[in-house]
């Protein structure tokens, strides 16, 4: 088997596992979807074949970076001031939206544990360092901080230009999370950001596609 084939198969297996999990929990709102375009999420559930075909080198680069940094964090937890670092941590918390209890679920890249509390760590790769930190990454981190009751978060970027670290000290409030979920369930805003359509494999099908500059 060629290395490129292995990487593609790993991406495909990861997507299929993720997709099966989504179908098994239809009432769950996933944090990774909550911070981006709701219409993309709905189209992904209807047309998973398009996501399977969207193989890019950025996936392999991002996955390798995550695995490497997570191992580094575990090995050097005490050097970083933690008693322990857990990685790929599954998190869940419920929020009440319009009188209904909605389950939020996600996976934190790393969680630093110490006597002083918890630190949520999210690892991101980017093509460059322009515009860092990105709004949707900060939003994701702050949601995870709320879900875990953490007062500190770290957003770590790996780019060709530099390694950048941003510390966040304020989680979202429960009211802010509820408002995000309310909008997501209504399908608004779609897209959440103008740049999303340019990277979306579902853009050719989407009735809400936007072309930047128009």
Structural domain boundaries in the chain? 3-205
Whole-number Å distance between alpha carbons of 99 and 86: 34
Return the CATH fold of 3-205: Lambda Exonuclease; Chain A (3.90.320)
Q: Inter-axis angle of helices 3-24 and 57-75, to 10 degrees?
A: 80
3-state secondary structure at position 213: coil
Does the model's pTM come out above 0.85? yes
Residue 156 β-bridge partners: 123, 165
Stated as kind and residue range, the H or E segment containing 208 is none
Cα(147)–Cα(91) distance, integer angstroms:
7
- Tens-digit pLDDT string for the chain (214 aa): 888 888 888 888 888 998 898 888 989 999 999 999 999 999 999 999 888 777 677 778 888 899 999 999 999 999 999 999 999 999 999 999 999 999 999 999 999 999 879 999 999 999 888 899 999 999 999 999 999 999 999 999 999 999 999 999 999 999 999 999 999 999 999 999 999 999 899 999 999 998 875 5
Residue 135, C-beta contacts closer than 8 angstroms, at least 6 positions apart: 193
pLDDT attached to residue 213: 57
- The pLDDT of residue 84 is 97
**What does the pLDDT read at residue 139?**
98
């Amino acid at each position: 088997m060629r290395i490129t084939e292995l990487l593609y198969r790993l991406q495909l297996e990861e997507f299929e596992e993720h997709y099966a999990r989504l179908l098994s929990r239809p009432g769950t709102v996933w944090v990774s979807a909550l911070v981006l375009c709701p219409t993309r999420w709905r189209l992904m559930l209807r047309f998973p074949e398009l996501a399977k075909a969207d193989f890019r080198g950025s996936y392999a680069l991002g996955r390798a970076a995550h695995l490497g940094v997570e191992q580094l964090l575990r090995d050097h937890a005490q050097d970083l001031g933690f008693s322990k670092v857990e990685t790929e941590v599954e998190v869940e918390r419920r929020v009440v939206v319009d009188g209904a209890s909605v389950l939020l679920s996600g996976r934190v890249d790393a969680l630093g544990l110490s006597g002083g509390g918890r630190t949520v760590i999210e690892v991101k790769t980017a093509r460059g360092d322009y515009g860092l930190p990105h709004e949707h990454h900060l939003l994701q981190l702050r949601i995870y901080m709320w879900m875990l009751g953490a007062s500190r978060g770290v957003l770590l970027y790996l780019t060709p230009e530099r390694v950048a670290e941003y510390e966040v000290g304020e989680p979202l409030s429960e009211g802010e999370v509820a408002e995000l979920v309310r909008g997501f369930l209504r399908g608004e805003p779609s897209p959440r950001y103008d740049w999303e359509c340019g990277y979306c494999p579902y853009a050719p099908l989407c009735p809400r596609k936007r072309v930047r500059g128009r």
